[in-house]
Structure 1
Amino acid sequence: MHLLLRTLLLLFSSSKRPGLSVWEESSLPLRVLPTDIDIAMHVNNGMYFSLMDLGRFDLMVRSGTWAKMRRRGWSPVAAGETIAFRRSLQLWQRYTIESKIIGLDAKAVYFEQRMVVDGEIYARAYIATRLVSGGKPVSQEEILAEFGEPPAGLELPDWLHDWRETNALPGARRPAPHAWA
């Protein structure tokens, strides 16, 4: 909810920015706002993922994919995320969110996203997203029919497959009891 107004503004402003292919990189210029920081006066670690949502929306809107998804009743949900930090983003600092789809598998679309200042990576994340419709996953075939075929050679790194496999929770229809080992 805390980024709802910012997201709505982005959906409008991204539609006015130059178009691109969903398989290209998106670069979204932003500035650190007071609502992005914590008591240590830098971007809160949890806020990075929320801000990265804006980068993915920018890519989807500028490529026309967001309109196609909405027409089909598809909603994106994060299925897994991992992030590494190098430097802190400070209040009022300018930065860009660089976003790119780096591959797909039978269950998810994978993004790499970076927070960049003056050509230097401050944080990098990998996000596995699912598209759902009516509470059910959208198939890879349906996704490719809307997104178009990925560029030749687009292949997920092995470590990303391993990460998803070892990090994933059971599906929602299977039990996932809470018990500390």
Structure 2
Amino acid sequence: MHLLLRTLLVLFTSSRRSRLNIWETSSLPLRVLPTDIDIALHVNNGMYFSLMDLGRFDLMARSGTWKKMRSRGWSPVAAGETIAFRKSLQLWQRYTIESRIIGLDAKAIYFEQRMVVDGEIYARAHIATRLVSSGGPVSQEEILKEFGEPPAGLELPEWIHEWRETNALPGARRPAPHAWV
């Protein structure tokens, strides 16, 4: 909820920015706001993923994919995330969120996102997302029908497959008992 108004603003303004193909890279300019920081006066580590949501919404809105997804009743959900930090984003600092799809498999669409200041990466994340509808997960075939075919040569790095395999929890229909091992 804390970014609901900002998300709505991004969806509104992004749909009026230059058009992109869903397979291109989105660049969303932002500024660190007081609601983004923690007691150390820099962006809170947990806030990065919320801010990166804005970058993915920018890409979806500018490509027209958001409108298509919503008309079909599809919603994006995060299935897995990993992030690495280099430098802290400080209060009032300007930065961009660079977002692109790096590939997909039968279970997820994978994004790479970067927080960039003056051409320098401050943080980088990889996010596995799913599209879901009231009937369950949206198939890769349905996604490609709406998104269009990915560019030739778009192939997920091998480590992404390993990361998803070792990081994934059981599906929602399978048991996942809590027990520290």
Paired position in structure 2 for 1:99? 99
Query: Residues of 2 paired with 1:11 and 1:114: CA distance?
Result: 19
Query: Residues of 1 paired with 2:10 and 2:99: CA distance?
Result: 15
Query: Residues of 1 paired with 2:32 and 2:10: CA distance?
Result: 15
Query: Residues of 1 paired with 2:58 and 2:6: CA distance?
Result: 12
Query: Residues of 2 paired with 1:106 and 1:44: CA distance?
Result: 33
Q: Over residues 17-41 of structure 1, what are the superposed CA-to-partner deviations in whole Å (9 max), with x where a residue is unaligned? A: 0001000000000000000000010
What is the total number of aligned residue pairs between the two structures? Answer: 181
Gap runs ≥5 in structure 2:
none
Gap runs ≥5 in structure 1:
none
What amino acid sits opposite 1:163 in the alignment?
A: W
| TM-score calculated relative to the size of structure 1 | 0.99
Query: Residues of 1 paired with 2:21 and 2:87: CA distance?
Result: 30
Query: Residues of 1 paired with 2:99 and 2:106: CA distance?
Result: 21
Query: Residues of 2 paired with 1:78 and 1:36: CA distance?
Result: 20
Paired position in structure 2 for 1:120? 120
| TM-score calculated relative to the size of structure 2 | 0.99
What percentage of aligned pairs have identical amino acids? Answer: 87
Query: Residues of 2 paired with 1:135 and 1:173: CA distance?
Result: 14
> 1:135: Cα distance to partner?
5.4
The 5 Å alignment of 1:90-169 reads 90-134=90-134, 136-169=136-169
Paired position in structure 2 for 1:36? 36
Query: Residues of 1 paired with 2:85 and 2:141: CA distance?
Result: 35
Describe the SS at the equivalent of 2:49: helix
Query: Residues of 2 paired with 1:95 and 1:78: CA distance?
Result: 23
Describe the SS at the equivalent of 1:45: coil
Q: Which aligned runs of 4 or more in structure 1 are off by greater than 4 angstroms?
A: none
Paired position in structure 1 for 2:66? 66
Paired position in structure 2 for 1:76? 76
What amino acid sits opposite 2:111 in the alignment?
A: F
Alignment pair present for 1:49 and 2:49: yes
